[in-house]
């Protein structure tokens, strides 16, 4: 039986000068991206008339492309303008995921493994995706680790990194948890399998220092800035699993659901505390322009 390749929600994709609906066939079996994974992407959100930090997401996808060996064919400003153009094709009610993408079509002369940057292609895919309800998640320490820059393309938001996250989530779910707490190759906490992570102890907020083993996210940076501006001490430091087990609160940040509390880490239960609630409040106030901008 043939697999149904239609998207699971309303979807529009801009490619080579036109907007196409559904799931257009863009990558063939000889495409470098298909068999050698030369793909990068980014993800922004539109909801309730706003698209927080859309400009930063558009800038980052171009940095990812360069780090992958691809050649950006759109400026960040062009991508942002296209995103707003695409948003108008939706009903204006349902939240939309905004996904700019680059991939390589051919390998380089003399080495098919190396992507030919001159063969870079671009697409901008937008699809309906409701926001999470900010319900707290449970975490378990994963047996899998985040790779180091010497072993994987960690300096790009590369599609090739995500199967490792996927297997970590699947393993965590098999043991009754929502997500996985992942460590780096040195055994220090990096992030969850799909978001950045924070802990609160005695009123001090801490988050793993960016060490190029995980994507130090745009929402992470925004929340750090907003919390500091609100008077919280926020530290970017090396953290162990034991540090998190002894925390007063744990929460995660990411583009998909913004700020989400953690209610369990392995055998330890947590309450969604005041700092977690404040972080979400500060973010939403900033996003809707209800507070002074923090750039």
- Mind listing the pLDDT tens digit for each residue in 185-194? 999 999 999 9
- How wide is the angle at C-alpha 169 spanned by C-alphas 99 and 61, nearest 5°? 20
What ranges in the chain are assigned the alpha helix state H? 32-36, 54-68, 76-87, 162-174, 218-229, 241-245, 274-287
> Sorting pLDDT into bands at 50, 70 and 90, what band is 292?
low
Report the pLDDT value the prediction gives residue 294, as an integer from 0 to 100.
54
pLDDT band of 295, cuts 50, 70, 90: low
Confidence of residue 42 (pLDDT cuts 50, 70, 90): very high
User: Which of 128, 153, 170 corresponds to the end of one domain?
Assistant: 128
Indicate if 162 and 242 belong to the same structural domain: yes
**Does 5 fall in a domain?**
no
The sign of the CA dihedral 126, 130, 136, 139 is: negative
Q: Are residues 110 and 152 in the same domain?
A: no
Q: Are residues 150 and 275 in the same domain?
A: yes
Task: Give pairs for 269-272: CB < 8 Å, separation 24+.
Answer: 270/136, 272/136
Query: Model confidence over 237-261: pLDDT tens digits?
Result: 999 999 999 999 999 999 888 999 9
The pLDDT, as a whole number, for residue 293 is 53
Show the domain range for 64.
11-128
Pair (144, 222) in one structural domain: yes
**Both 214 and 76 in a single domain?**
no
- 33 located within any domain: yes
Select from 161, 139, 131 the least CA-distant residue to 256. Answer: 131
* pLDDT above 80: residue 215: yes
Q: In degrees to the nearest 10, what's the CA dihedral of 170, 175, 181, 187?
A: -100
Mean pLDDT value across the chain:
96
In sign, the C-alpha dihedral spanning 26, 130, 45, 138 is negative
Helix (H) or strand (E) holding 249: strand 249-254
Residue 294, domain member (yes or no): no
In this structure, the answer to whether residues 169 and 204 fall within a common structural domain is: yes
In a domain, 233, yes or no: yes
Tell me: do 118 and 170 sit in the same domain: no
CATH of the domain at 102: 3.30.470.10
Q: How confident is the model at residue 211 (pLDDT cuts 50, 70, 90)?
A: very high
Q: Looking at residues 97-107, what average pLDDT do you find? A: 98
Give the CA radius of gyration of the chain: 20
Distance CA(224)–CA(9), nearest Å, equals 33
Total number of domains in the chain: 2
- The answer as to whether 6 is a domain residue is no
Tell me which residue of 98, 88, 82, 104 sits closest to 17, measured CA to CA. Answer: 82
Q: In this structure, what CATH number is given to the domain that contains residue 175?
A: 3.20.10.10
Contacts of 231 (CB under 8 A, 6+ apart): none
Do 78 and 101 belong to one domain?
yes
CA-CA-CA-CA dihedral for 274, 278, 279, 285, to nearest 10: 170
Same-domain pairing of 165 and 219: yes
Residue with tokens 């390589």: 104
Locate 154 and state its tokens.
Answer: 């960690």
Q: How far apart (Å, rounded) are the C-alpha atoms in residues 249 and 287?
A: 24
Examine residue 295 and state whether it is found in any structural domain, yes or no: no
Angle at 149 between CA 143 and CA 154, to 5 degrees: 80
Q: 99, 128, 157 — which closes off a domain? A: 128
Alpha-carbon distances, residue 56 vs 52, 53, 79 (angstroms): 9, 5, 11
Q: What percent of the chain has pLDDT over 70?
A: 98
58 and 189 housed in the same domain: no
Please give the DSSP secondary-structure letter assigned to residue 262. Answer: E
Q: Is residue 2 part of a domain?
A: no
- At residue 262, φ and ψ (nearest 5 deg) are -110, 130
What's the rounded Cα separation, in Å, for the pair 204 and 255? 23
* Residues contacting residue 256 through CB under 8 Å, at least 6 positions apart: 43, 45, 97, 129, 131, 132, 194, 195
Is residue 3 included in any domain, yes or no? no
Question: Is 84 in the same domain as 144?
Answer: no
Among 97, 128, 159, the domain boundary falls at 128
Do both 108 and 170 map to the same domain?
no
């Amino acid at each position: 039986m043939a697999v149904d390749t239609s998207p699971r929600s309303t979807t529009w994709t801009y490619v080579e000068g036109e907007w196409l609906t559904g799931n257009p066939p863009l990558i063939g079996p000889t495409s470098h991206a298909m068999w050698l994974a030369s793909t990068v992407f980014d993800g922004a959100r539109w909801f309730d008339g706003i698209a927080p930090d859309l400009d930063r997401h558009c800038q980052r996808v171009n940095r990812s492309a360069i780090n992958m060996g691809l050649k950006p064919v759109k400026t960040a400003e062009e991508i942002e303008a296209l995103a707003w153009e695409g948003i108008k094709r939706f009903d204006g009610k349902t939240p939309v995921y905004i996904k700019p993408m680059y991939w390589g079509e051919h390998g380089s002369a003399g080495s098919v493994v190396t992507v030919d940057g001159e063969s870079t292609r671009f697409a901008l895919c937008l699809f309906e995706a409701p926001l999470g309800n900010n319900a707290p998640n449970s975490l378990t320490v994963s047996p899998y680790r985040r790779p180091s820059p010497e072993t994987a393309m960690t300096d790009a938001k590369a599609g090739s990194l995500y199967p490792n996250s996927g297997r970590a989530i699947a393993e965590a779910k098999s043991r009754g948890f929502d997500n996985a707490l992942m460590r780096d190759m040195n055994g220090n906490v990096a992030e969850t399998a799909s978001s950045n992570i924070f802990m609160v102890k005695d009123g001090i907020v801490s988050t793993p220092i960016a060490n190029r083993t995980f994507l130090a996210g745009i929402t992470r940076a925004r929340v750090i800035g907003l919390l500091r501006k609100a008077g919280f001490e926020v530290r970017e430091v090396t953290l162990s699993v034991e540090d998190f087990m002894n925390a007063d609160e744990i929460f995660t940040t990411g583009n998909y659901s913004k700020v989400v509390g953690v209610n369990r880490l392995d055998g330890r239960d947590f309450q969604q505390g005041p700092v977690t609630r404040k972080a979400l409040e500060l973010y939403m106030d900033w996003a809707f322009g209800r507070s002074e901008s923090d750039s």
